[in-house]
Chain A
Amino acid sequence: MISYIGKRMVAVIPIVLFATLVTFALIHISPVDPAEAYLTAAHIYPTPEILEQKRHEFGLDQPLLTQYIQTLQRISRLDFGISYLTNKPVWDEVKVRLPATVELALSSMLLSIVVSIPLGVLAAIRKNGWIDMLSRGLSYFGASIPQFWLGYLLIFFFSVKLDWLPVEGRGTWQHLVLPTLTLSLVLIALYTRLLRSSVLEQLQETYVQYARTRGIRERVIMLKHVLKIAIAPLITGMGMNLGKLLTGTIIVEQVFSWPGFGRYFVEAIFNRDIPVIQCYVFLAACLFIVCNLLVDLVHLYMDPRISSKGRTEQ
């Protein structure tokens, strides 16, 4: 098991390198010249001389390979350069905003787990019953409604009409309710249906029939046997749906004026603040890699039969 974990850790390195390469390539395939983007953001008229000077300052006149190696060295020190807009180190700006985004993402994750596990299990046990119907309706709704629109709807009902919760901002737990609901609904929709079909599949297995004939109570069968196995696809789903969570935070932070990294990224796009965009892309890629690794390790923990080849031994 230890060697498997070690191998997986080593395998992460080329993927991270590839992520840095993509991040680096972004600059060179984009039609926007970074030097020009900087000058535009700083409100300086881009005369050829100033452009030349800035290009030299950013090292853009160096050979591509040299530039890439320098980029790698900088990233390894968590140095993502200086924001074109604020003239402050990007990492310092990101550090300030990350907690808000993490708070939002975690609360949404938590809510989606708390809601979707009982809902998914109940929908499977009471197949075609009212809970199943409800969960199906909720899933269709959650999966198909655009997040920004859901955000507006929630603000309209709970803030403007009922005056229960604040429209926007951060500070109290009330501020967290609507953004969390908006972000978690799509996840609830996915996880509930995933768990439902997974539980239904397990209920057909012979070990369940055998346990029933042994007279073991239904609740014990469900919690001790079925759920333990049925939860595996849900964990995979969580890793796979991280993208939804990331893009979700961008939209939700914008709609609810949540002062996080996602909103900062949107502003960076509007202002062509390339170092910030690069930093976001790189961190997002790393997050995906780390999450995939974690999902695999959790599977390994849950199913020790997984060999170093990464598949179940027959």
Chain B
Amino acid sequence: MSVRHRKTATLTLVAILLLSVILGCAKQDNTPASSSTDGAANEKTITLSWPRDIGTMNPHVYNPSQLFAQSMIYEPLVSYKQGGKLEPALAESWTISKDGKTYTFKLRKGVKFSDGTPFNAAIVKKNFDAVMKNEKTHSWLGVVGVLDKTEAVDDSTFRMTLKEPYYPVLQDLSVVRPFRFLGEAGFPDDGDTSKGIKKPVGTGPWMLDEYKQDEYATFKRNPNYWGTAPKIDKIIVKTIPDGETRVMAFEKGDLDLIYGEGVISLDAFKQLRDTNNYVTKLSEPVGTRSLLLNSSNPKLADLRVRLALQHGFNKQAMVEGVTSGLEEKADTVLSKNYPYTNVDLQPVDYDVEKSKALLDEAGWKLPAGGTVREKDGQQLDFELIFDKTDPIQKAMAETIQAEWGELGVKVNLTGLELTVQIKRLRSNQFDLYFWYNYGAPYDPHSFINVIAKKSFGISEVLSALPMKKDLDQQVHEALSSTDETKRQELYASILKTLQEQSAIVPISYIKKTAVYQKKITNFVFPANRDENPFEGIEIGK
């Protein structure tokens, strides 16, 4: 080796060593003040990530605020618990008038906002007024459409009067937005929260501590919280948009918890589960993935064809294959963990022979040497539209296409931009469509509402059902009924009809996933799909 070469090699080696030392010794300042850096060594902190920035934390608006974070700061009058049980939250009790039109809430005494100001009927009314000022924005929520007036009767009594009876008022009040309560200090001068708030002041167990847009948010305990204080001192939420990066941050130990729907890929979840180094959990069903068979299409107006299609694909194999068993095969349109849905219904099982027989019976015959069934010179073909950015929908669409192809049913696949897809649903321009219900606490009442109410697209899907008028009537009765037994009967009847008519074909139950480090204990999925999972969460010794 020449002298010059030796020099170069030595210099390179020194540079590499120097760089290694610098990188190795560099104190990693992970931006939010974590327990290890703020001096409070015994402070209990949980760090998780979220795909998006938590947003403006305005309780009365939607995007870009994130539901789970809003639910940490703001509370409802009524809480939705496991199995649809409604429990007192900021209201300690309530009475409903005989005609189902007047709801009187007794507010919990001694509740304070995080800034120490009192929670009372006046501030409840002020929040309701702010929400109802933008009624159109919230028209998707049933109670908004029927709310006539609100009054602060006295300091701890709040009354709502409806235009007509509507039983799911309490469920609607338990949702994360818009009916949660902002403290006086958060209101803008003109009281119109839709334009923005001054600061996030709530009554919830947590308050926003530090926030850096697009990077992180930290929450600390609300010292004025009326309920059981959290066992954790601080929650750090890092904004990590990429699923794979999230997994690596978790494996490195930067994150204690990965939680949510679709926040990591199914493969990553399985890989983390198989290491046995972490705890992995799947929630109860939070929603159903269904396939709509649009009966407005004359070919699908025939019940025999709809039944044949449901009998004609192997749900179990598809759900196992596409979702790696992280979703569960669905036999009924709604899972049985909602109120009124624990009804005994007959599943439509996988049965190819039965499927072929039904198609034959309906007059759709395979021509000699042909692969697609025909009737009166028409082919039995359908278009299945799906969200082209959703890998699960795409894989399921391809599976269905292959399986129904075997039966002699031709399926043309069209991947669409989500907005266009929704537009086609609402304008009833489709044959087959992947659809999801809303989950708790919105269902089952929101589900039956869209069955009857036009312009959402679901009512039109059922338009050729011979009993559609009766179905609509039953929905209306169920929503306005004040008799619990009658309501249960009506729900049973509605769900039975839908099951028999096979226009909404249940495919699988979607679940939330959670992966966390073993030091975390007492992790429980919230009953309300949109709530945060920190109630009772603890860090083991």
Q: Interface on A for B, CB 8 Å cutoff?
A: 31-33, 36-37, 40-47, 50, 85-87, 96-97, 151-152, 155-156, 158-160, 163-172, 174, 177, 254-257, 259, 263-264, 266-267, 271-272
A32 x B62 contact (CB < 8 A): no
| A44 to B140 CA separation, bound complex (whole angstroms) | 8
A156 x B245 contact (CB < 8 A): no
A45 touching B139 in the complex, CB below 8 Å, given contacts A174-B28, A267-B241:
yes
B137 x A43 contact (CB < 8 A): yes
Chain A residue numbers with a CB within 8 Å of B245 are: 151-152, 155, 167-168, 255-257
A257 x B238 contact (CB < 8 A): yes
Judge whether B63 is part of the interface by a CB distance below 8 angstroms.
Answer: yes
- Total residues of chain B contacting the partner, CB 8 A: 45
Chain A residue numbers with a CB within 8 Å of B195 are: 87
| A50 to B138 CA separation, bound complex (whole angstroms) | 13
B423 x A36 contact (CB < 8 A): yes
A96 touching B28 in the complex, CB below 8 Å, given contacts A40-B422, A85-B64:
no
Other 6 A-B pairs with CB < 8 A, given A33-B419, A40-B419, A172-B29: A36-B419, A50-B136, A156-B248, A167-B254, A177-B23, A272-B419
A266 touching B137 in the complex, CB below 8 Å, given contacts A43-B63, A169-B215, A174-B26:
no
Question: B26 — nearest CB in chain A belongs to which residue?
Answer: A174
Chain A residue numbers with a CB within 8 Å of B28 are: 165-166, 172, 174
Interchain nearest-CB distance for A241 vs B (Å): 24
| A43 to B244 CA separation, bound complex (whole angstroms) | 29
Judge whether B108 is part of the interface by a CB distance below 8 angstroms.
Answer: no
Chain A residue numbers with a CB within 8 Å of B24 are: 164
> Among A86, A156, A163, A259, which residue has its beta carbon within 8 angstroms of that of B64?
A86
Residue interface mask B214-258, A partner, CB < 8 A = 1: 111000000000000000000000111110110011011010000
Interchain nearest-CB distance for A165 vs B (Å): 6
Chain A residue numbers with a CB within 8 Å of B420 are: 31-32
| A160 to B63 CA separation, bound complex (whole angstroms) | 33
Judge whether B56 is part of the interface by a CB distance below 8 angstroms.
Answer: yes
**Subset of 6 A-B contacts with CB under 8 Å:** A37-B419, A42-B62, A44-B139, A164-B24, A169-B216, A255-B245
Interchain nearest-CB distance for A44 vs B (Å): 5
B136 x A266 contact (CB < 8 A): no
B26 x A164 contact (CB < 8 A): yes
Chain A residue numbers with a CB within 8 Å of B214 are: 97, 259, 263-264
Question: B416 — nearest CB in chain A belongs to which residue?
Answer: A31
B64 x A160 contact (CB < 8 A): no
Chain A residue numbers with a CB within 8 Å of B139 are: 44-45, 47
Judge whether B417 is part of the interface by a CB distance below 8 angstroms.
Answer: yes
A32 touching B215 in the complex, CB below 8 Å, given contacts A86-B64, A257-B239, A263-B241:
no
Chain A residue numbers with a CB within 8 Å of B423 are: 33, 36
Interchain nearest-CB distance for B214 vs A (Å): 4
Judge whether B52 is part of the interface by a CB distance below 8 angstroms.
Answer: yes
> Among A41, A255, A259, which residue has its beta carbon within 8 angstroms of that of B242?
A255
Interchain nearest-CB distance for A51 vs B (Å): 11
A160 x B251 contact (CB < 8 A): yes
Q: Interface on B for A, CB 8 Å cutoff?
A: 20, 23-24, 26, 28-31, 52, 55-56, 61-64, 136-137, 139-140, 195-196, 212-216, 238-242, 244-245, 248-249, 251-252, 254, 417, 419-420, 422-423, 426, 455
A152 x B248 contact (CB < 8 A): yes
A170 touching B136 in the complex, CB below 8 Å, given contacts A31-B420, A159-B252:
no
Chain B residue numbers with a CB within 8 Å of A41 are: 63
Chain A residue numbers with a CB within 8 Å of B20 are: 164
A271 x B63 contact (CB < 8 A): yes
Chain A residue numbers with a CB within 8 Å of B64 are: 85-86
Question: B140 — nearest CB in chain A belongs to which residue?
Answer: A45
A254 touching B137 in the complex, CB below 8 Å, given contacts A36-B423, A159-B252:
no
Interchain nearest-CB distance for B476 vs A (Å): 20
Chain B residue numbers with a CB within 8 Å of A151 are: 245
B23 x A171 contact (CB < 8 A): no
| A87 to B194 CA separation, bound complex (whole angstroms) | 10
| A164 to B254 CA separation, bound complex (whole angstroms) | 13
| A45 to B425 CA separation, bound complex (whole angstroms) | 13
Chain B residue numbers with a CB within 8 Å of A267 are: 52, 241
Q: Which residue among B55, B63, B422 has the maximum number of chain A CB atoms within 10 Å of its CB?
A: B63
| A169 to B252 CA separation, bound complex (whole angstroms) | 14
A160 touching B248 in the complex, CB below 8 Å, given contacts A266-B241, A271-B63:
yes
Interchain nearest-CB distance for B473 vs A (Å): 24
Closest 7 CB pairs of A and B: A43-B62, A259-B214, A164-B23, A167-B249, A171-B31, A32-B419, A160-B252
| A151 to B422 CA separation, bound complex (whole angstroms) | 35
A259 touching B213 in the complex, CB below 8 Å, given contacts A160-B252, A172-B29:
yes
Chain B residue numbers with a CB within 8 Å of A266 are: 241
Interchain nearest-CB distance for A175 vs B (Å): 8
B137 x A42 contact (CB < 8 A): yes
Chain A residue numbers with a CB within 8 Å of B426 are: 46
> Among A31, A86, A97, A174, which residue has its beta carbon within 8 angstroms of that of B417?
A31
B241 x A86 contact (CB < 8 A): no
Interchain nearest-CB distance for A191 vs B (Å): 20
| A166 to B62 CA separation, bound complex (whole angstroms) | 32
Interchain nearest-CB distance for B427 vs A (Å): 11
Interchain nearest-CB distance for B456 vs A (Å): 8
Question: B419 — nearest CB in chain A belongs to which residue?
Answer: A32
| A207 to B352 CA separation, bound complex (whole angstroms) | 83
| A276 to B277 CA separation, bound complex (whole angstroms) | 42
Q: Which residue among B30, B242, B419 has the maximum number of chain A CB atoms within 10 Å of its CB?
A: B242
Question: A31 — nearest CB in chain B belongs to which residue?
Answer: B420
Interchain nearest-CB distance for B448 vs A (Å): 17
Interchain nearest-CB distance for A91 vs B (Å): 16
A168 x B240 contact (CB < 8 A): yes
| A163 to B63 CA separation, bound complex (whole angstroms) | 36
Question: B65 — nearest CB in chain A belongs to which residue?
Answer: A86
| A46 to B417 CA separation, bound complex (whole angstroms) | 17
Question: A174 — nearest CB in chain B belongs to which residue?
Answer: B26
> Among B55, B63, B215, B419, which residue has its beta carbon within 8 angstroms of that of A259?
B215
Chain A residue numbers with a CB within 8 Å of B212 are: 259
B30 x A169 contact (CB < 8 A): yes
> Among B29, B241, B252, which residue has its beta carbon within 8 angstroms of that of A254?
B241
| A267 to B24 CA separation, bound complex (whole angstroms) | 34
Chain A residue numbers with a CB within 8 Å of B213 are: 96, 259
Question: A251 — nearest CB in chain B belongs to which residue?
Answer: B242
Chain A residue numbers with a CB within 8 Å of B455 are: 47
Chain A residue numbers with a CB within 8 Å of B216 are: 169
| A263 to B239 CA separation, bound complex (whole angstroms) | 11
Chain B residue numbers with a CB within 8 Å of A170 are: 31, 215
Chain A residue numbers with a CB within 8 Å of B23 are: 158, 164-165, 174, 177
| A43 to B422 CA separation, bound complex (whole angstroms) | 13
A166 x B30 contact (CB < 8 A): yes
> Among A44, A96, A168, A254, which residue has its beta carbon within 8 angstroms of that of B136?
A44
Question: A30 — nearest CB in chain B belongs to which residue?
Answer: B417
Interchain nearest-CB distance for B51 vs A (Å): 9
> Among B26, B31, B61, which residue has its beta carbon within 8 angstroms of that of A169?
B31
Question: A177 — nearest CB in chain B belongs to which residue?
Answer: B23
| A177 to B252 CA separation, bound complex (whole angstroms) | 18
Interchain nearest-CB distance for B94 vs A (Å): 27
Chain A residue numbers with a CB within 8 Å of B240 are: 168, 257
Interchain nearest-CB distance for A84 vs B (Å): 8
Q: Which residue among A168, A254, A255 has the maximum number of chain B CB atoms within 10 Å of its CB?
A: A168
A159 x B248 contact (CB < 8 A): yes
Question: B215 — nearest CB in chain A belongs to which residue?
Answer: A259
B252 x A167 contact (CB < 8 A): yes
